[in-house]
Amino acid sequence: MKRKSSRCLVASLFVSLLLCAGLAASQDNVLPDLRSPAIVATAIADRYQPGYGYPVGPRAYPEGINPLTGLPYPSDAARSRRNLIIKVSNWPPRVRPQHGVNAADIVYEYEAEGGITRFAAIYRSQAPQQVGSIRSARLLDIELIRMYAALLAYSGTSEPINRIYINAEYRNRLLSPSLGHDCERAGFCRDETYAQRGYEHTLFANAQQLWDQASRLNVNQGYRALGFRFALQADAGGDTAFDTYTNWYNRTDARWQYDDSRQKYLRYADGAPHIDATDRQQLWADNLIYLQVLHIARPDLFPPGSPYESEELVLQGQGKALVLREGKLYEGFWRRSSLRNGDALELVHTDGTPIALKPGRSWITIMRNLNQLEISETRQALDSIVSADG
């Protein structure tokens, strides 16, 4: 982790009590004109009248609370369906802007190979009609499927990894055109609007149709994934950090900056705002999480003499972690003490106590070494245009 020292900026951080009793509206109530996604998520909950207080997690959550976000499920449908992982391309740059990334509860970003990153976006609260472009599955996804007791939607995968997948206990939770899931019923459709990107970048998915397909396969149960702790107030301490930058061997980069007015982190790629083509907003997150994870090359999965190999990311046991919320940085560890379905990552301080995330969306970046990450107290001057046409 590289830190750039500079004059500290004092951020005006205010977290209102978003989830007090009475915010959750019944079906007959008119929704208030509110801008905060946290308040709106509570207001549109159609059955839940949470009378709880924060913090929640990491091992127990009140009824009606989504453990992925720490917020109420926005509907009975969201509460009842299964966590859904969709693999989304992030390289080459022409695949941007992607669709539906801002609708995910959690996004994992990791190195697929040679400095190229890919997203594993996890959906539960929202059901975007177009997500993508969709790309292939990797070894890491085996860990994520189990951690989140999830469905996995992907375009296909290499033959050695495919053999692992189709012989695994989670085989019936896989959704892919390579397994015969089509456009009409499963929602995997080609969008020729993006033909100039290349055929492999024209596949998109409809999240609701994926859940419908899972229901037909009898695997769309609303299992929870435990691990995160959420609190309205940030933990004491923490260092000021408004800007983070990661560069994967000059092929992919990502910068996040904390925006005081929106109280969110905004993403930049190749020096420009990284936009979601669906809502035409800059990619954003409430929490940034960086994990140091062992990467192991696995050429042994392929025939002798093959030029190919896969990377195994060992997301088991424990490793170093950095967590950012509301302009503050906390150092600690990630740990995964169980391989059971639904036992996801826990984040802890160096003394072993849970790190409290802000209720909302989290972006998790997996790295070989946290020393690759640059962290600054000040924001790098960048173009602030956030229009997809900019």
Tell me, what's the pLDDT at 2? Answer: 63
Give residue 95's pLDDT band: very low, low, confident or very high (50, 70, 90).
very high
> Which pLDDT tens digit goes with each residue over 164-203?
999 999 999 999 999 999 999 999 999 999 999 999 999 9
Q: Is the pLDDT reported for residue 297 higher than 80?
A: yes
375 pLDDT band, cuts 50/70/90, is: very high
Tell me what pLDDT residue 120 has: 98
Write down the pLDDT at residue 301: 87
- What distance in Å separates the CA atoms of residue 179 and residue 186, rounded to the nearest whole number? 11
ω into residue 359 within 30 of 0, thus cis? no
pLDDT confidence of residue 21: 34
- Return the number of other C-beta atoms located less than 10 Å from residue 304's C-beta: 6
Residue 314: pLDDT band (50, 70, 90) is very high
Write down the pLDDT at residue 336.
94
The least confident of 213-217, 334-338, 354-358, 384-388 is 384-388
**pLDDT interval class at 230 (50, 70, 90):** very high
Nearest 5°: the CA angle 189, 195, 198 is 100
Q: Is the pLDDT of residue 383 over 80?
A: no
Q: In Å, how far are 2, 142, 219, 383 from 106, measured between CA atoms? A: 25, 17, 21, 26
| Closest to 365 (Cα-Cα) out of 314, 265, 292 | 292
Q: What local confidence, expressed as pLDDT, does residue 135 receive?
A: 95
pLDDT of res. 178: 95
Tokens of 243: 């800007």
pLDDT at 44 over 70: no
Measured CA to CA in angstroms, residue 141 lies from 113, 122, 284 at distances of 14, 11, 23
Question: Model confidence at 288, in pLDDT bands (50, 70, 90)?
Answer: very high
pLDDT of res. 52: 54
| Superfamily name with CATH number, domain 80-216 | YerB-like (3.50.90.10)
* % of the chain with per-residue pLDDT over 90: 76
User: Could you tell me the CATH superfamily of domain 229-376?
Assistant: YerB-like (3.50.90.10)
Q: Do 366 and 372 touch, CB atoms closer than 8 A?
A: no
**Identical fold, 80-216 and 229-376:** yes
Residue 246 scores a pLDDT above 90: yes
Q: Where are the domains of the chain?
A: 80-216, 229-376
Looking at the predicted structure, is the pLDDT value of residue 42 above 80? Answer: no
| Residue 13: pLDDT over 60 | no
Q: How confident is the model at residue 300 (pLDDT cuts 50, 70, 90)?
A: confident
Beta strands 229-230 and 356-357, pairing class: parallel
More confident residue, 106 or 14: 106
